[in-house]
Structure 1
Amino acid sequence: MDGSSTYQRSGLTLAALLLLTILCACQAQTITEIEFTTEEEQGEGHFIGNTADRSGLSVEFGDNFQLLLFSAITQGNDFVQYLSINPSSGVIVTKKNIDREAVCPKSDECSKKITIGVHRRSPGSASTELLRLLQVTIKILDINDEAPTFQNPVVQLTVSENVQPFKELYTSLAVDRDAKGPNSVVNYKLVPPTDDFSVTIRTMADGFAEMVITVRKMLNREVQASYQLQVVATDNGEPMQTGSVLIQVMVTDVNDNAPEFGRDNYTASVLENSDNGYPVVIVSATDSDDGENARLTYRLSSQAPAKVKDAFTVDGDTGEVFSRRKLDYETDHSYTFYVTATDHGSPPASASALVTVNVMDVNDNRPDIQVGYGSVLEEQAAGAMVMKVQATDPDDGENARVTYSLAGGDGQSQSGTLFTIDAASGVILTGGARLDREAKEVYTLRVVATDNGPVGLRMSATATATIRILDENDNSPRFSQQGFSTSITENRPARSPAGQVSASDGDVDQNARFEFSILAAPSGEGGGRDDGSFFTINSQTGLILSKQPFDREEKDQYKFSIKVADPAVQNYFDIANVTVTIDDDNDHAPRVLKP
């Protein structure tokens, strides 16, 4: 074996190799090869081995062992990153978790080499000398941590209805990434079993294996056009791991051989608004027939919905799928359809492949902001909810996430902030400054909704929110004047109008309701009957009515007090004085005083 090749495989550079060669040649150093074994997936800090014990250095140097220093040669060796070597003891532990499938992909055996230099310190000096190189081989053993996995969860196979029993249909096997051995040996079975089909594994001439679905009976498409077969793959590891695939067997009419696609499913992604001059995806099928029976024409499935036919076209000769127009993510996030390959036999035979085109979003839409009318009671403290502004953006992700702000209107006053808006939710709140409906009833705010697309490409929309301040019962009713003078003609019957009083309340609706009443004079005042007792007042209209006819010659004026009050708040009232004058009626004949 060539020595330089051995060093290069262990990760040494040419310069390091030459240096070590000189040192070894001058000092008769040796390379000691040792080997450790560990299982994968043991996590950080897992003990792998003691190089000092395995190499005999701990015994060889005895009491002078503390003079030795162990260090790994890291240059050119990526595996060293997984390990930690104690410089004093030479113990190797894992520095991070080791995944055998990641460290040794597609390898049945997994061995990694590192080189450790052993130096000796000189007592009383900082200098060291290289004593020995340890060539350490670490074998990483597989555990059954990978389940058999199929490339696609659903596989569609087609078979002609006139095939004879034992026709074989091929599809991909499951892949088990564990190492060669029981952990990666996969067995297949149909669940539930059926008399119509069986599943086996076939190794081809090129060494690759495929799963074979065998038709065990004559098929009749007109009786049953498709079969749903569940294939379960199980490995032989401990614990056992399983995976499954749904096989859809589609029975087709004769032509003896139908076209077959290289894959059952094709997936492509395209940015919305992309130029439509390039193919989105290319599908490909072959037909084992010959001549016209093997010449294929591709087209969209006849069952494709109208939106697919409007968006895509297929080159009949090449299988290239083009978009007819620029695609719009906001209209359709994705399209799923079948492309059919049809041979030119008589009658022609066809096969289909499922195509999924995912449309990726770009920030090409402004938020659509919906602002209506809000309301809030006057005199509310800061933080009271007024209304919620709702904005939507048909884009996706951050392009559709909206941030709200206020950019003008009546949101401020001399006394402070009247309204604020929550940037994330769009909820408009009171800001703490006093809201007085009697001073201002309606406010307008300019609301801005901005998406969170890339900086420089963000888009905004504005709208006006109208907020009505609702009435709080915070005003007392007031008479239109503090004194009312009215009159009534004597001898009018009871319940004749004797006057009208009026009042108002600065509030509105139910809060503006008030009631009129006549106040009784204090007990004993006037030494007789209270003037107000001769009248009644309509509590709602303020119309004063007489309780009886009056005689001016007996009494020509009545004075009393009236009250207007808010029925909901006890101390909201006003008082006014009323003077009712009795007008004369010609109710006495002349008398001759002297004959």
Structure 2
Amino acid sequence: MVITPESRLGSQRLLLSLLFLVLWEAGSGQVHYSVPEEVKHGTFVGRIAQDLGLELAELVPRLFRVASKGRGDLLEVNLQNGILFVNSRIDREELCGRSAECSIHLEVVVERPLQVFHVEVEVTDINDNPPVFRVKEQRVLVYESRLPDSLFPLEGASDEDVGSNSVLTYKLSSSEYFTLAVKTNSDGNTQIGLVLRKSLDREETPEHALLLTATDGGKPELTGALQVLVTVLDVNDNAPSFPQSEYEVRIFENSDNGTVVIRLNASDADEGSNQEIFYSFNSLVPPVVIDQFSMDSNTGELTIRKTLDFEKVNSYKFRIDATDRGHPPMVGHCTVLVKVLDVNDNVPQISVTSLSLPVREDAPLGTAIALLSVSDRDAGSNGQVSCSLMPHRPFRLVSTFKNYYSLVLDSALDRESVSDYKLVVTARDGGSPSLSATASLSVEVADVNDNAPTFAQPEYTVFVKENNPPGCHIFTVWARDVDAQENARVSYSLVERRVGERALSSYVSVHAESGKVYALQPLDHEELELLQFQVSARDAGVPPLGSNVTLQVFVLDQNDNAPALLPSWAGGGGGRESEVVVSRSVDAGHVVAKVRAVDADSGYNAWLSYELQPAAGAERSPFRVGLYTGEISTTRALDEADAPRQRLLVLVKDHGEPALAATATVLLSLADGGQVPKSSLRASSGAAVAETALVDVNVYLIVAICAVSSLLVLTLLLYTALRCSAPPSEGACGPGKRVLLCSSAVGSWSYSQQRRQRVCSGEGPPKADLMAFSPSLPPCPVASDIGERQDLSDDHCGKVSEISCYVSSLF
């Protein structure tokens, strides 16, 4: 057998243990103490050294110590006085739980010699723990259909204390539905429960809150509480219900599809599936509602399916069902009234119900012309329509009834100013924004005969060459009538009067429709220089209206008359041949005779010139004739060589085109001074004096005519310039008729020398006895600007060429 070191060490330990056990048994003792739990630190427990028979002085030398099995820190010994005291908190329930006995076992060891003592310290219970329920809140589920006296067990409380400190009593808070039942079994356990006193109604009280109180038997008493919540379980004994039996909803007609009209929220006093509700239209709801709206069965949302139209349907009333999912299901009902609100989505409509056209221009004020009606399918202010009229005159709108208007005449009409009115009637509603519509009316104004025919000017001046062919068109009158149709159809006629011994109608005529004026016979300037008459223009209205115009027809002279020798153109007898006795002693320039002739024409046609025609085979005559005076005078002194009888042929010629002429033969008898008869001498002397005076007068007359002509031209030019630059004023002459004075290229004037005219030129007195030569001026107009014309180029009339004119006021 081999002995190892390890085996030797184990044997030694075993021997020591056996020795310790022997010594312990030899010196063991038992000491018992009691201390309440939860006492303070330092609380006196007992005099352990004295009770074990140990001297205080030997405690330290013998290594006195106390050991506790697992709880060595709860109690401690003061080695100075040998007292056992509480060192830390002692909790009986922590040490022993719910055991009826609870002690702390101490081992007291001293050495030299070794002694072991056993000390038991009993920990007594105090009521430091209240009754405790395992949970703070206990729920009890009870169907509302349970009958009274039904029992519902509850879990009781526990108390960690022991003895009387753990004896519990229970108490339930006051309740009309529940009471507390407590029962102690044979094994000492207590059972508690709730007893139903009367039937429950979950819809009335779905939950009952009760307070269960447990009280222990300690002094003082401690309590614990438990919140008991009794939940009443539902049975399907309630139908869904709505907060209101009828709902009224207002929604605009222009709301979009899908817009939520109303969200219904029915409630069911039940719970669970008994409370789950789905919504639907009632079976009696008409199809138009189902077609217009849709119902969400889960959410109760009523939405628009199709576009609303207030003008078609302005309200919907229907029933909605709310059904729960219980067994059997129960149904609740409500009525929904959807009122569609109008928006201004319809323009006004204008209708002309009556129209009386055309309107006479003499219609009295207030005459009704048209009846109009306006309408708007909208409602309220959106359907309130007001009308306006453009232009504002001469018509206006008068409201006769709601939405009915009359178009009446507000001011006088004048068809000649406006014959047709374009009216625009505007109808505007009261919406926001407002909508409007327009209607156009064309009002025609009917004519009445309220305007007489009018001529462009009150008087026309017409120039006609004499010797015109019969039926010659000399002028066209035209009158304007601003009326219409028959009222504007003008007919013309002469205003009959006497011209000398003859009727006017024997000279001229006028075409009733065209207004053309015709000369019925050749006119003779020498017989009739001016033909003045009136033409009447009359319309075809009822009654007819008319006006007159004056025509001044000047007969222009033509060279149709040859010069005529006066019967006594010389000192002696008449005829185309005259004899004069001339003394041979007369000096050069002596007037021996005078040829006198006249021309029935006028102007240039009557302006005569005298020429001495040379005799065939005769020597140069000692006599000459004045070109314009007709005076025959000597060119030199007479001598014996001159023939005793001189035959002079004088050609008298006018200035017309072609020129007409006449001849006069003058027989001159040359006599010696003593042979000249006294009568001849006297006549010759008187003639010479007269001739000398006449020559002087003629010279002065020609000079005066030239001066006056120049002055007239300057005056007329100045007058025309003043009239164009300033308004006319009445001068010394005053207003008068305008007379057109014209001359041909050769200077033939429309007035003869025998017709005296008063010509006013600017300031100053009138002039008389005017004779002028043709100036270089523009041609005379033959037609006015407004259509009146003088047709002098007619096939039956002679052509007046190169006519120059001046306009002047003649008095």
Larger RCO (alpha carbons 8 Å, 6+ apart): 1
TM over 0.5: no
| Larger radius of gyration between Structure 1 and Structure 2 | 2
TM-score (norm 1): 0.44
Give the TM-score of the pair, scaled to structure 2: 0.34
Q: Which is richer in strand? A: 1
